[in-house]
Structure 1
Amino acid sequence: MNKHTKLFYRVIAGIRATGNKNGYVSVTRIKTRLHTGYARAGKLIEELIRAGVLKKLDENYIKSSANGGNILWENLSKY
């Protein structure tokens, strides 16, 4: 089992707190919420993708308007 950082669990708590309002987690949202830099926020996004909490988005997915976001809600319950 991989160890995760304290900021990882803060992001998980933030995702749960906001619920399914928009379904997206972005680098700028993490940067603003946790008062970190872009580099740290980017590493957190990578950590969330490796943990299976977020989907890695491609350009076509981002452009389509009828998608459910990048949060995998069924995997969020593991943390």
Structure 2
Amino acid sequence: MRSADTEFVGGPLDGRILPILLSTFNSVPKVYRVPVPAHGDRPAETLVYDRAKAYSAKGRARWQYVFRAPQA
């Protein structure tokens, strides 16, 4: 399967670039969920990132993931 290096903005993964598997239409998923297991006093949670379009310095469109803040 093909993958694309995708940047994460905000949240715990801020600034990281991770390879994301592409769909059958060669696009990254609209929503990316990262399960975080329970550790010590912290309960298990799921981090949610939404796909957003970003532009490179040359004006080329690319995808990045933006952190969705948890609802209170």
Q: TM exceeds 0.5?
A: no
* Greater C-alpha radius of gyration: 2
TM-score (norm 1): 0.28
Q: Bigger relative contact order, structure 1 or 2, given CA contacts below 8 A and separation 6+?
A: 1
Bigger strand fraction: 2
